[in-house]
Structure 1
Amino acid sequence: MILLCSFVALFVGSINAQSKTNPLDRKVLDYIYNANDDRTHKLYNWTNWRNSSGTSDPCTDNWHGITCVKNQSVYYVSGINLPSHGLWSLPDEITEMKHLRTLVIAANYIGSSDFPEGIFAIQTLEYFDASYMHSFNISLPRELSLPNLQQLHASKSKITGLLPITWNTPKLENILLDGNNLEGYLPDGIGKIAGLKELKLQENRLTGNFPQSYGNLHQLVNLSLVQSSHTLCPGIPDTWQAMFSLEYASICVFGHLPDFIGENWQQLKTFRITGSSYEGNITASLCKLTQLQHLDLSNNHFTGIIPECLFSMSSLVYLDLSYNQLSGAIPEAIGTTANIIERLLLSHNRLNSTLPRSIGKLTSIVYLELENNLLTGAIPTEFDELRNIGHPVIMVLRYNMLSSFEDGLEYFFRDIQGNYYENPFECPLPTYIREATCSLCNSGTKHNSCEECVSASGCGWCSYGPNCVEGTHQGPVNQYSCPEDWSFGTCHR
């Protein structure tokens, strides 16, 4: 028995003697390997971590996912990059690794009881990624002191509790903590990270206002604060100059959209403020954003007309102004040659014009939504031009006051997917119309005059349009809307 033990000790010692990797680092990697409980992934992802003799070295044999640095004759592990490897735990000794700069453990199964808290104290750490963890459920430390950390990624990992109060992270550039269960106020400490470029905290339960220090984040280019409630009130500091993408949703911002956005944010490509309480006119200064690609101002309280210059922006591919209180005409400039819009959403407003014929010139359009407005008149012949743009188009025009179809649209309605229901179209409908119904009130001669309209049972005259539609003394029915001068029974003069 003594001889056997001596032989085993001698054999293990000989293996360690052959290893050029620091013994502590090797011990951590051995633990990580054995903690992987997915044998299928082990065969596929853990290439060259073991060989038949057991003498493989992590650094000199280039173990999968491992990077090293050499200090004199000894190699130290500087990077562990093992996403989606079926890991269930990490050893406490990982916190003693002296040269670890990169730790990527995303999409694994490590839980709070198997995640060493000391990882957030590894002073050499530069890049940390624990995104999309299946059962993480950890809380962040109240004080985060990582002087070399540049990237902090932990999106959608069920992180709970509060954000750290103190951020001793002078080199930090990216904070991605979206899609977790974080709550409480935004800490003042984040506003003191002078070099911060990206802050993503959407889909949490944060509350309160921006600390004044956030105005000092002059290098911030990407900010996302999409929330599920209206308890976060961040505002938009006028000191931000480098913004590339700003996304606010379901937050309590009020007042008018500031002009300085269009004047100063010349690099802005994505601007999304939706589900908030901005009001007043949409500032035309947004048209000065020559690189803007995505503009979403839906679900606010904007009034007035749509700035015509929005449709002359050569970079805009997505425009959503739905669910506001915009009125007036859809600008004829919608079909300008500079327009490359692919998705245009103007639904649930009070736009009160005929359909611009220039819509037929939207050569890049994929989805056009104009439902729930007060649009009148006919669907123009020029819409048939949309059949020739080389890709499918979806058009939604339901719940308006449209009354007829111009000639030459037979093939348009065959090729273009759409929804035209709940418009008072004249009966009978053309035989090629499928996704629409007609109004018996708006048929024959009843739509020619108020007198002929109100003489028919159940029909009323809306001077806006004008249209003869189903209704009662109280007003139109069937989702129709009459913004002015409704007559039922007798005509108003």
Structure 2
Amino acid sequence: MNSKNPIVNLSSFSSIHFLFYSLVISLSSTVICGGIETDHEALLKIKSLITRDPYGALTSWNDSLHLWEGSLSPHVGNLSFLRTLSLGNNSFHGAIPQEVGRLSRLRYLYLYVNKFNKVIPTNISGCFNLEEIGLSNNELVGSIPKEISSLTKLNFLSLFNNKLTGGIPTILGNITSLELFSVRGNPLGGSFPNILSQWKNLREFYARGCNLTGTIPHEIGHLSRLTVLSLAINKFCWVIPTNLSGCSNLEELYLSHNELVGNIPKEISFLSKLTYFSLENNNLTGGIPPHLGNITSMEMFSLKGNPLLGGTIPDTLGLMESLKEIDFGGCNLYGTIPNSLYNLSLLVDISLADNQLTGGLYSAIGATLPNLVSFQLWGNKLSGPLPASISNCTSLKLLELAKNKFSGHLTVDFSNLTNMYIINIGGNLFGSKEADEISLLIL
């Protein structure tokens, strides 16, 4: 046990015993001027304030208290040699004590999944050795303290799912060491601050559902290390920056549920590592760029709810050999479904519903799409018979083909689809008693 690296972690069963033991060992084996004795006394003071001990842990110190609740004692500020303070997954409420700012040696602060409901203390800047702050899933209010900008060693700042307001402070750009920044699920408001050019080490940025407005800044293209960009459910307007292609390591891009306009930049096709790509529920136009087929790493691709998009489904999308989910519902697409799409054997979920698609279905669909679970084509102008090979899609759970122009005799053996729970083929031209009986079947 390193006597200079004590840890407080109360989210596991053995933690209090470990903490107490480490402090005792520190006292008996190491001489540090002052300090350790103060830490020992502070810990015992915190222990004396605990009233809930259902496992008798505080009597023997052989097991950990399962859950700490109540307010966090200000005596925690006396643990002057503390490096890690981990109190996640408890029921602490009230304020985070200002005294935490006295922990100048602290490197890791984890208070996530509690019920803290006051402001983030501004003197957290006193913890100038902090590398990671995890305050997510609380009820914190007020603004993000600008004083955090003085924590020049910080690489992880997670504040998601709180009640923070006041926007993202521009001065946070001073934290050039930052690798992860998450504020999703806070009603922050305001526009995107001009700080991205300073965050050259940033790898993950989460600001989903933050009521942000304005444009997505072009500076975002300078973040060559970025792997995740999540800006969904905001009020971003104007166009998608073409220089997103500069984020050459991007794996996940979520821009859904905004007010974005203009074309889907063909430059996105240069993001060769992109795996998840969602632009749903915007006002995009100009069709689907054929060049996107070059992103062979893509697993999920959603454009759902862009009614002005238009155009056809490019045959080149058949090059996306890793694709598992595709959702182009409600995009005013026309033309036929390219056969190349049916050759993507990993596809699990296909939704091309509510468009203007014509032509028939690929006859060998059951052989080429063995993993299909959800197949939604309702609300198009598709015609011809239903391929009998659908019977071989034995993983199917949802089959929505209503409101098309399918016709002919039903040769699909629905009894073979043992995992099915919804079949909807109503509103077509089958004209048979059998079709009427299963027009909407919920199993």
Q: Could you say which TM-score interval applies, normalised by the shorter chain?
A: 0.7 to 0.9
Q: Is 2:136 aligned against 1:140?
A: no
Which residue does 2:36 correspond to in 1?
A: 22
SS in 1 for 2:433: coil
**Contact residue 192 and residue 217 of structure 1 kept, 8 A:** no
Residues 276, 31 of structure 1: alpha-carbon distance in 2 compared, 3 angstrom cutoff: farther
Which residue does 1:126 correspond to in 2?
A: 131
Which residue does 1:404 correspond to in 2?
A: 408
Which residue does 2:304 correspond to in 1?
A: 298
- Of 295-304 and 240-249, more deviation after overlay is shown by 295-304
The match for 2:110 among 101, 104, 114 is 104
**Contact residue 406 and residue 430 of structure 2 kept, 8 A:** no
Which residue does 2:179 correspond to in 1?
A: 173
TM-score (norm 2): 0.80
Per-residue CA deviations over 1:445-489 (Å, capped at 9, x if unaligned) read xxxxxxxxxxxxxxxxxxxxxxxxxxxxxxxxxxxxxxxxxxxxx
Per-residue CA deviations over 1:127-147 (Å, capped at 9, x if unaligned) read 1101111x2223202352210
Whose Rg is larger? Answer: 1
**CA distance in 2 between partners of 1:279 and 1:412 (Å):** 41
Per-residue CA deviations over 1:36-65 (Å, capped at 9, x if unaligned) read 67x3xx556x96xx455x9x9xxxx99999
**Contact residue 380 and residue 405 of structure 1 kept, 8 A:** no
Residues 127, 275 of structure 1: alpha-carbon distance in 2 compared, 3 angstrom cutoff: same
Relative contact order (C-alpha < 8 Å, sep 6+): which is higher? 2
Residues 228, 186 of structure 1: alpha-carbon distance in 2 compared, 3 angstrom cutoff: closer
**CA distance in 1 between partners of 2:268 and 2:251 (Å):** 11
- Of 358-367 and 320-329, more deviation after overlay is shown by 358-367
Deviation at 1:25, TM superposition (A): 4.5
Residues 209, 23 of structure 1: alpha-carbon distance in 2 compared, 3 angstrom cutoff: farther
AA aligned to 1:347 is: A
Alignment identity in percent? Answer: 23
The match for 1:157 among 162, 165, 168 is 162
**CA distance in 2 between partners of 1:97 and 1:414 (Å):** 60
**CA distance in 1 between partners of 2:209 and 2:49 (Å):** 31
Residues 94, 277 of structure 1: alpha-carbon distance in 2 compared, 3 angstrom cutoff: same
**Contact residue 205 and residue 229 of structure 1 kept, 8 A:** yes
**CA distance in 1 between partners of 2:232 and 2:90 (Å):** 31
Q: How many residues are aligned here? A: 395
Unpaired runs of 5+ residues, structure 2, are: 1-23, 68-78
Q: Is 2:345 aligned against 1:339?
A: yes
Deviation at 1:273, TM superposition (A): 1.1
Residues 24, 227 of structure 1: alpha-carbon distance in 2 compared, 3 angstrom cutoff: farther
SS in 1 for 2:390: helix
Residues 185, 32 of structure 1: alpha-carbon distance in 2 compared, 3 angstrom cutoff: farther
Which residue does 2:336 correspond to in 1?
A: 329
Per-residue CA deviations over 1:52-87 (Å, capped at 9, x if unaligned) read 5x9x9xxxx99999xxxxxxxx98210011111222
User: Could you say which structure has the higher strand fraction?
Assistant: 1
Which residue does 2:71 correspond to in 1?
A: none
**Contact residue 28 and residue 94 of structure 1 kept, 8 A:** no
Per-residue CA deviations over 1:187-234 (Å, capped at 9, x if unaligned) read 112431111111100111111123443332222111000125455866
Residues 85, 276 of structure 1: alpha-carbon distance in 2 compared, 3 angstrom cutoff: same
**CA distance in 1 between partners of 2:103 and 2:199 (Å):** 26
Q: Is 2:371 aligned against 1:382?
A: no
AA aligned to 1:403 is: S
**Contact residue 168 and residue 193 of structure 2 kept, 8 A:** yes
Deviation at 1:254, TM superposition (A): 2.2
**Contact residue 146 and residue 171 of structure 2 kept, 8 A:** yes
**CA distance in 1 between partners of 2:221 and 2:397 (Å):** 43
SS in 2 for 1:304: coil
Unpaired runs of 5+ residues, structure 1, are: 1-14, 66-73, 438-493
**CA distance in 1 between partners of 2:46 and 2:408 (Å):** 70
Which residue does 2:422 correspond to in 1?
A: 418
Which residue does 1:370 correspond to in 2?
A: 377
Which residue does 2:399 correspond to in 1?
A: 395
Residues 232, 327 of structure 1: alpha-carbon distance in 2 compared, 3 angstrom cutoff: closer
AA aligned to 2:185 is: G
**Contact residue 35 and residue 87 of structure 1 kept, 8 A:** no
TM-score (norm 1): 0.72
Q: Is 2:234 aligned against 1:240?
A: no
Q: RMSD of the alignment, in Å?
A: 3.2
Residues 269-288 of structure 1 mapped to structure 2, 5 A cutoff: 269-288=275-294
